[in-house]
Amino acid sequence: MAKKNIAKPAKINIKNKRAEHDFFCIDKYTAGIVLTGTEIKSIRAGKASLVDTFCYIHNGEMWVKNMHISEYSFGSYNNHPVRRDRKLLLNKKEIKSLADDTKAPGFTIVPLRLFIDDNNRAKLVIGLCRGKKEYDKRATLKDKQDRREMDRAIKRF
């Protein structure tokens, strides 16, 4: 009996690169997302974006707002709205902790990464973040550029 060549699905790892640039991440949490059938199919196809996305707490529940998940190409009238509020699955203890932390000025909850775990469930890594000032952003870019130049120099020798 011959082995079948079954192709493994590509790892889905959608990052919010803008969050790295605009915020200092203080704490990270991994949350599940409540999705419809066509939304999870679009995510598995890699058709999602976390640009301009943020989280908020309403009535003791965590929600993600403005997350873009493209319509599923083979979906019919059952397709989902592209930008709708989606509920995040966290423990009450974690939600209460985040709610207390965001009461301080300058702190917010930002989605950092969207991925599919080993059980084929969509997960969202959210971070408790504090905004960067303009000079912090410049310092981060300078450090990144210096690191890149050092890597290039090491690679040459």
Going along the chain from its start, the domains and CATH numbers come out as 13-132 (2.40.280.10)
Is pTM beyond 0.85? Reply is no
Cβ atoms 130, 24 nearer than 8 A: yes
- For 34-85, the pLDDT digits (tens) are 998 889 888 988 899 999 999 999 999 999 999 999 888 887 777 888 889 9
Cβ atoms 69, 82 nearer than 8 A: yes
Among residues 124, 103, 130, the alpha carbon closest in space to that of 26 is found at: 130
